[in-house]
Structure 1
Amino acid sequence: MKKMVDNFWEGAAYVDMQGTPLEQLPIMQGFKSLKDADLLIDMMAVVPSPAQNYLKMVSIPYGIPMAIGTTAIQAPTEMPFYSSGQYKGMLAGLRGAA
């Protein structure tokens, strides 16, 4: 994560799930580091949450806003971060995504 803050390409996977190189995707043109992002979005379905690591290591230190999508079972763990304003948005479970 920390490596992607300064040089995204040193810390990230090089292809998407279809095998397309990330640098070929139009959305990635000119993207050099996480500092280039206007918003970090973490869509997760795992416990423990990786979102809290992004929050602590990237969002807060570098002032990059963050939003998450999470499973209903993980939502209570993430809610304090949303309620305090550390997450700018939160989709919680199927109801949140509807």
Structure 2
Amino acid sequence: MEIFGSLDSVASGVNARTPLRGLDTEEGTESTMNINPYRGFVDRFRDAFRNETTAFTEVVAGSRQNPCPPESAREALRVALACEISVAEQRPVRVAEVTGR
């Protein structure tokens, strides 16, 4: 995931296998910036899917607390709504503006 703000940008999930290509080599040609890039979506997110499925079955079985309680889901929705308003109105939007806090 990449997030671009007015003061900075950050990326999550970038590692040695992330399929990145450089365009500014000495020869002016494209170059691969990693040796063993992910082959696709499933290759990249296999472990995450496995972990999510394990967590789900443990929650259903009652052996684990829900790692994403409703409060967290609502907060994620507030962030998404702030992002949508920001895009629509082309301005920074604080989450507090969306929640009325």
What's the TM-score once normalised by structure 1's chain length? 0.23
| Structure possessing the higher relative contact order (Cα contacts under 8 Å, 6 or more residues apart) | 1
User: Which has the larger Rg?
Assistant: 2
